[in-house]
Chain A
Amino acid sequence: MLNIDHVSRRFGAVQALDDVTFSMADHGMTGFIGGNGAGKTTTMRIIMGIITADSGGVRWRHAPITPADVRRIGYMPAERGLYPTMPIGKQLAYFARIRGLSRQDAATSTERLLTELSLEHRSKDPVQNLSLGNQQRIQIAAALIGDPACLILDEPFSGLDPIAAETVGEILRSHSERGVPVLFSSHQLDLVERYCDHLVIIADGKIKATGSREGLLATHAGFSYEIGADDLTWLRAERGVIDVVPHGRKVRFTIDALNQDTAEVIAQEVLQRALGHGPVNSFQRWTPSLAEVFRDTIVDRPGEPGFDRRIRRLWRRPGLFQDKP
């Protein structure tokens, strides 16, 4: 329902966004990941109409987005905070009203939301009197107020301890399960991995990859395996085995094959050979963590550390990645 079409934005000498195009999934949680200065905040601000794009545009349900549409989107800016001395009930009602709700609707919505977050008895307290966890809840509530059609959250997990992060993650998940799509940015990949269903990866203002989490992880797994054994010195010389990398007490290797079936056959041969050399503690197909996928994805120039020709090969597959030269 939300499409970002060829959005570019420059700040002085910095090209913050360069032809950014992606669409937000209609269901579930979409993680928007990228390092510091990658352009996540700028993208979100353009969606929310807080700043304008130099070129390109945003569509909402297939039509150019309007201020009225934006008010249907719940937004949480980065480095959050609320009015420190304003009672939380009043505060939430205020955010509801500036988004166009009537006084009555704002009051009802506030009451319902506070009850849902088990904070109904704190309605008259200012934010600064709440515990950190509750402050976090109220922060999210400011985006959730007024039944938004969609949620956009900039770094909702940054600066949170694991328990607070869990609280936030569960609130967001429960809303996404109720049919409100969520787009959240983060550079904490473990949390993204845990909560997102879809991924959009951005680096240097360019979109590097988009897709479902499973799809992305599976593709990046390629034909790599992990083996744990006492003696693996022979592995490098093995035919069809490339990229042998020690990984903790195990070794990760990739098989140079054209398809999964061939790779599987070669992998079984390697396993037999290993058993011939001695006992094998573990042997399994390797699935990368999101952090590894991310690291591989954002580096697209040969010769840079972390460059992996596997990735280059995968990018040529149509439909899985948008290849941005």
Chain B
Amino acid sequence: MTSRGRTEAAPEKDAASDRAETSRPARLRTGPGDDNATGAASGGRKRWKDGIVQTWLVAGRDIDQQLHSRSFLITTLLLLLATVAGVVIAAVLTRPATGSDTTTVVAVAAELPSGTGLADDFTLIEAASANEAVADVRDGEADAAVIPDAAGGGLTIVARTTAPSGLVNALTTTPTVELLEPDTTGTPMTAAFTALGFGAVFMIVIQVCGAGVAQNTVIEKQTRIVEILLAAMPARVLIAGKILGSAVVALLQALLLALVLLGGMAIAGMTASLAAWAPAILWFVVLLITGFVLITSLYAALAALVSRVEEVSSATTPVTMLVMVAYLAPYIVILLGDEGATTLLGYLPVFSTIVMPTLISSGTATSGEAALAWLICLVATVGGILVAARVYRYSLLRTGKKVSFFRALSGSE
């Protein structure tokens, strides 16, 4: 114990490395009689704890600023209004199908749960067995078959290409839908517009939250607040806090939109759409946040290269271009029906944020594929953060002329 105390109190050769590794109060307490067996470990733990506290402080300040910013509040409000409008329009467009007499339904009446009341709203054909009912659908005798599940009280709707939405809405329990000839290529317009919708949210969230990080980075550099910050914390804590802060705001915004969208669908009674859209929208939120962090890191790194607010937009042009391309490319590729390109974009980080949820919504991709796309995006994001942190740290104190990105990356003087 005593010898340890002596070793720790010995003068360090290199002041710079000492200052990074130890904190003096811990060393002062170190001495004979003190319980210092865990001194070094607790110093390390304390440094981690400090780092986490400071990351949250930085994030908290940025969140606070964003939530008080008028432009943020206005764009969020507009986005919400657009979403509500979208839901209302969709509900109105799908409404006429409900209760339509022209839909012919085939079922084994005896097996249906009592009180289903299909005969009131639809032309109901009686079938002898479940197999016969499906055959009727295949032959075009009926639009859909309603078959009770073997176990439990659930229902399955069997249809040719699309489930009649009126039927789905009329049932009290949400049915499983089985399509005999699922139509994957037949509706590129729907998919393309889905991509455009996801893309619009993606772009607005990134423009509002991500570009805010770029702006703030340069303000801190221009005003030299960054020196006050760097005197109190390492650069990696600073950039981590900024990314965390903007990601929290983006997540709030995205969740709010998803909630309004899904809630709106539920209220409008679009149960079928809700069931089809929920996984797509949830994957979109997950991919959006991951892709967002990647884009935001790049924004912060590129913005750190310049010294004046007026230079931000030109410095961050490459990322802005990337965002634009990621917004439009899925729309075009899906519209052209290029399956190979669509699949590729489905796994390409940032692009996957828009493409994968679109594929999920059209039933072309599974959750497993979405998870893979997310993992790929996650790896790219971690790489992006490391690159950005390096460039950021190197550039923050270099004012005046624009710093070269690759020079900052290589870290040479």
A positions within 8 Å CB-CB of B: 10-12, 45, 48-53, 56-60, 63-71, 73, 75-86, 90, 94-95, 97-100, 142
Contacts and interface: CB of A to CB of B under 8 A. Distances in A.
B16 A83 contact: no
Contacts of B12: 64
A98 B232 CA distance: 6
A53 B17 CA distance: 11
8 contacts: A50-B230, A65-B15, A70-B231, A79-B223, A81-B225, A83-B223, A97-B57, A100-B232
A95 B228 contact: yes
B313 interface: no
A57 B22 CA distance: 15
What are the 3 A-B residue pairs with the smallest beta carbon separation, nearest first?
A81-B223, A57-B15, A77-B224
B222 interface: yes
B228 A77 contact: yes
Given A68-B25, A75-B227, A81-B225, A94 B219 contact: no
B225 A98 contact: no
B64 interface: yes
A225 B18 CA distance: 53
Interface string B217-249: 001001111011111110000000000000000
A71 B232 contact: yes
B19 A63 contact: no
Nearest to B58: A98
B232 A52 contact: no
B64 A90 contact: yes
B219 A84 contact: yes
A69 B24 CA distance: 8
Given A50-B397, A53-B16, A95-B228, A81 B23 contact: no
A52 B16 CA distance: 7
Given A12-B413, A50-B230, A98-B54, A78 B224 contact: yes
A302 B23 CA distance: 47
Contacts of A99: 232
Contacts of B20: 67
B65 A50 contact: no
A84 B22 CA distance: 35
A145 to B, nearest CB: 10
Contacts of B228: 75-77, 95, 98, 142
Given A50-B397, A84-B219, A45 B227 contact: yes
Contacts of B11: 64
Contact of B219 (A58, A69, A70, A83): A83
A97 B59 CA distance: 13
A256 B384 CA distance: 70
Contact of A50 (B25, B27, B231): B231
Contacts of A50: 227, 230-231, 397
B133 to A, nearest CB: 66
Nearest to B220: A83
Given A64-B15, A66-B22, A94 B224 contact: no
B15 A58 contact: yes
B61 interface: yes
Contacts, number: 100
B223 A68 contact: no
A282 B225 CA distance: 52
A100 B46 CA distance: 12
Contacts of A10: 413
Contacts of B229: 98
Contacts of B58: 98
A77 B27 CA distance: 30
B20 to A, nearest CB: 8
A94 B61 contact: yes
B18 A64 contact: yes
Contacts of A142: 228
B222 A81 contact: yes
B222 A57 contact: no
Contacts of B227: 45, 48, 50, 75, 77
A45 B397 contact: yes
A63 B27 CA distance: 10
Contacts of A51: 397
Contacts of B23: 66-68
B23 to A, nearest CB: 5
B52 to A, nearest CB: 13
Interface in B45-77: 50, 54, 57-58, 61, 64-65, 69
Nearest to B65: A86
Contacts of B24: 60, 63-66, 68-69
A217 B413 CA distance: 40
A100 B53 CA distance: 9
Contacts of B223: 79-84
B261 to A, nearest CB: 32
Nearest to B21: A66
A160 B3 CA distance: 55
Given A48-B230, A51-B397, A83-B225, 4 more contacts: A68-B24, A71-B232, A81-B219, A85-B65
Nearest to A95: B228
Nearest to A11: B413
Given A71-B232, A86-B65, A80 B22 contact: no
Given A69-B24, A75-B227, A98 B19 contact: no
Interface string B402-413: 000000000001
Contacts of A100: 50, 232
A82 B413 contact: no
Nearest to B16: A52
Nearest to B15: A57
Nearest to A60: B24
A49 B50 CA distance: 16
Contacts of A75: 227-228, 231
A32 to B, nearest CB: 16
Contacts of A76: 228
Nearest to B226: A77
B227 to A, nearest CB: 4
B397 to A, nearest CB: 7
